[in-house]
């Protein structure tokens, strides 16, 4: 193995997205495949050249110069085609002309931020927004995206193709929305980042490394929003706080076999105190506005969960925030999670009554929770609920965790 090989995957993850975003901003969304091809070809050339000549002193700078030259060559060929052939053809649009491809740090950051709003456009589905975000903004390969969604490459390629076609048809621009529209469009971007994080945190994929990378990429995208004055809003800080608090317990909530460890059974010494502190900082920054978003409430709940004590005050605080969250935006998952706090504050009997009113017959977590609540009160009913949960569970890790409860 030559010494350049280990660095290529890392550079692809960090630099591919930058090159694609800048080229797309230069060419327009109509030529996104050209931008992706130029970026991919740049890395192919790097593999060959570095294998022969060794690693250059500034690998990222080498990649930028190569991508610039390839883009200039493409524009030159297009110019010749347009001048000599295209005048006799219809529907040929001129390409972006002669300005230099700007791969400065400022333009890279601006291009990625603008691309974030473009790929999170409401014209395409949430699923497509996440897929495009992973590909264009995060530099994930098609295989990795397929693994994250627990599907195959063909499905992902078709999904991304349709999304790009729709964005072209809608003539979506790669730019920040006007000031009067930015809050509405920002909500869509935050939802996509939130779902991207959840795809990693709650994914059924067995690839633990990939799942963690999904979470970290969502946090990186949110950080980009905070670093720009136009998008540094309280709800953005609240979302980053929420993700920091959740990510702080990532290593404690799963064992070496990929099985989920319930909150009460987690080893709190594995919680990441640095991320907990960062979550606290961004939550305090989120308090500067007058608008209360769902992310504020969820971040508050997540913050309480990083407190190691099991005091009544903690669970009363969590229950109060869940009540506010459900009044603001009802969700069966949030309602189910709330019943755990109800059990801590008001006892298992009250929690059972509230849980059974939810009636979520297709949700294995619903039956697993009922199994927990009935345990010690009516062990026969607890066992029946765990058996139902086992029949509905989708992953081997979830099934194994339920089998342990059943003692089989």
Q: What is the pLDDT of residues 33-61, one digit of tens each?
A: 999 999 999 999 999 999 888 999 999 99
Q: What is the pLDDT of residue 132?
A: 93
Query: In this predicted model, which residue has the larger pLDDT, 236 or 87?
Result: 236
Please state the three-class secondary structure of the chain as a single string: CCCCCCHHHHHHHHHHHHHHHHHHHHHCHHHHHHHHHHHHHHHHHHHHHHHHHCCCCCHHHHHHHHHHHHHHHHHHHHHHHHHHCHHHCCCCCCCCCCCCCCCCHHHHHHHHHHHHHHHCCCCCCHHHHHHHHHHHHCCCCHHHHHHHCCCCHHHHHHHHHHHHHHHHHCCCCCCCCCCCCHHHHHHHHHHHHHHHHHHHHCCCCCCHHHHHHHHHHHHHHHHHHHHCCCCCCHHHHHHHHHHHHHHHCCCCCECCCCCECCHHHCCHHHCCHHHHHHHHHHHHHHCCCCCCCHHHHHHHHHHHHCCCCCCHHHHHHHHHHHHHHHHHCCCHHHHHHHHHHHHHHHCHHHHHHHHHHHCCCCCHHHHHHHHHHHCCCCHHHHHHHHHHHHHHCCCHHHHHHHHHHHCC
Whether pLDDT at 30 is above 60: yes
The whole model's pTM is what? 0.88
Q: What is the pLDDT of residue 100?
A: 79
pLDDT higher than threshold 50 for residue 388: yes
pLDDT, residue 205, reads: 66
Please state, rounded to an integer, the average pLDDT across all residues of the chain.
89
pLDDT band at 371 (very low <50, low <70, confident <90, very high): very high
């Amino acid at each position: 193995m030559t010494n350049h090989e280990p660095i290529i995957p890392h550079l692809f993850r960090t630099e591919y997205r930058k090159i694609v975003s800048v080229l797309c901003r230069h060419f327009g969304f109509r030529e996104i495949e050209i931008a992706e091809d130029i970026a991919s070809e740049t890395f192919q050339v790097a593999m060959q050249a570095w294998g022969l000549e060794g690693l250059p002193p500034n690998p990222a700078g080498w990649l930028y110069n190569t991508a610039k030259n390839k883009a200039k060559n493409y524009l030159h060929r297009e110019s010749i085609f347009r001048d000599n052939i295209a005048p006799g053809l219809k529907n040929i649009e001129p390409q972006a002309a002669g300005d230099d491809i700007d791969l400065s740090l400022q333009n890279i950051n601006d291009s990625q931020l603008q691309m974030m709003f473009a790929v999170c456009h409401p014209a395409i589905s949430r699923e497509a927004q996440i897929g495009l975000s992973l590909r264009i903004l995060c530099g994930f390969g098609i295989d990795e995206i397929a693994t994250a969604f627990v599907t195959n490459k063909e499905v992902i390629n078709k999904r991304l193709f349709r999304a790009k076609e729709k964005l072209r048809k809608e003539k979506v621009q790669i730019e920040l929305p006007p000031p009067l529209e930015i809050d509405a469009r920002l909500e869509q971007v935050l939802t996509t980042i939130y779902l991207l994080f959840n795809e990693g945190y709650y994914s059924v994929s067995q690839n633990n490394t990939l799942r963690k990378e999904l979470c970290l990429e969502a946090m990186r995208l949110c950080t980009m929003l905070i670093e720009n004055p136009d998008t540094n809003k309280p709800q953005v800080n609240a979302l980053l706080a929420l993700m920091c608090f959740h990510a702080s317990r990532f290593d404690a909530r799963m064992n070496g076999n990929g099985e989920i460890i319930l909150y009460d059974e987690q080893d709190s010494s594995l919680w990441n105190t640095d991320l907990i502190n960062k979550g606290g900082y961004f939550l305090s920054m989120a308090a500067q506005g007058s608008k209360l978003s769902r992310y504020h409430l969820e971040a508050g709940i997540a913050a309480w969960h990083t407190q190691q004590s099991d005091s009544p005050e903690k669970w009363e605080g969590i229950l109060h925030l869940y009540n506010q969250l459900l009044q603001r935006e009802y969700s069966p998952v949030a309602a189910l999670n709330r019943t755990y706090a109800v059990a801590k504050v008001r006892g298992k009997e009250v929690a059972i009554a509230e849980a059974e009113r939810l009636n979520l017959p297709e949700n294995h977590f619903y039956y697993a929770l009922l199994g927990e609540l009935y345990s010690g009160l009516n062990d026969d009913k607890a066992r029946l609920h765990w058996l139902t949960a086992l029949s509905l569970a989708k992953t081997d890790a979830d099934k194994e965790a339920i089998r342990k409860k059943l003692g089989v």
